[in-house]
Chain A
Amino acid sequence: MSADNKCCCCGGGNQFAQLDEMLAKYQGVKGALIPVLQEAQNMHGYLPKEVIERIAEKLDIPVSQIYGVATFYSQFHLNPRGRNIIRVCQGTACHVRGAKAVLKAIEDNLKIAAGGTTPDLKFTLETVACIGACGLAPVLMVNDDTHGRLTPEAIPEILAKYA
């Protein structure tokens, strides 16, 4: 089950050096799994299989259990994520003001479905139920930027800023 010989994302050397350093901090700490997964995800952008296996080995937690935790919480991702995370609001206010068409415009532009990531890893597209900016409906967020009062026509220009 050792992942020593596999490379995940950063070539050469001990690709787990940073991860191991973080894990050392949590040796013997009870209830450490969720913060560990959060930190590991911050390092890698997502939770690669090899990273989960390394965490299992170092914290002596069965890999099946870590997989269970990582798939239970929507904050954890097991597949690579884009550098830019688009969150398109599909809440009630946005819905009545045309959020569906906005979402479709993004899907068409990026050629991915909601939940997907572009092959060049530039964008991950997600839907959310409400981001609390109903006055700007329909609204989306790219990373920490909010874009409101959207029309499908406005989408290409917004995406171009992050491409």
Chain B
Amino acid sequence: MTAPLLDIRDLRISFQARDGQWAEALCGIDLSLEPGKVLGIVGESGSGKSIAMMAFLQLLPRGTRVEGSAKFRGEELIGMAPARIRKIRGKAIGCIFQDPLSAFNPVKTLGQQVVEAIRLHDRTISKRDALKEAERLFELVAIPQPARRVRQYPHEFSGGMRQRAMIAMALANKPDLLIADEPTTALDVTVQAQILDLLGELREELGIGMVLITHDLGVVAGIADEIAVMYGGSVVERGATEPVFYETAHPYTAGLIGAVPTLDGTGALRQIEGTPPSIFSRPPGCAFHPRCGRAGAPCPVDTPRLLDRGGTACACHFPLTETAEAVRPARVLDGDPA
């Protein structure tokens, strides 16, 4: 297959504030995903990771300016007619949301909702057959007693089971691409692990491409083939999973890795000093430079471009080169601007 499953080129998204000022939430990102692969998008709140995915499904509020290109199997999604995009949503691209309780209609049984998801895209399937299919899907995602569970309401499910049901619903129409927006954030750690295992298994069995959006590096480490790290509306580092972890080039990525708590770790949890910039007052040049221990003269002036460095592509004027240095970022913590 020549066309990638998903191909995002220079995607820019801006919102208009009340005072008429345009704020750029996404400043031109490039991402691509081959069929059957898993892309992990990692970043803090407000880094633009969810917005990118909502943009090409046209889920953003009206009045949002979207520029650039996002091709799904070679077909341009940006600016696509509403009737056409509705055929893609839920059919070729399935979505999993962060909070499985609020993402279900509380007054319908889960079976009814899966049936609706199926029949929305194929009217020829009878309700009875669709319900059978719902049971099969529940079994696929390892929900015990599927025949009984399809007749229950969302509030009768536990968090982990609910997320499984959500995955079942997203898979209902055998999508080629699954977008999981923080699928484990609302769950306990042990349940998180189960859900991630499930996603991994499904990907093996069904060969679905996945975009996994998360702020937790640990979540993507085990399952993603590729990782894109986002900060301030840009991709700052991108590459295959192993190089991103072991040959980290961007100081921000290094800071994130350094902030992951370890079981044998002694001493305080490391953090990246400061807070992510607001989209209304993003620093000029490299958005990360006020918080960066390695920032130098060009950083506040010149926005670094994403350059391929062999292992990973990285947008930084002073990338970390040594592996040892990457694991122990020099001054991420004690760089105190105040």
The yes or no verdict on A and B being binding partners is no
Interface residues of A (CB under 8 A from B): none
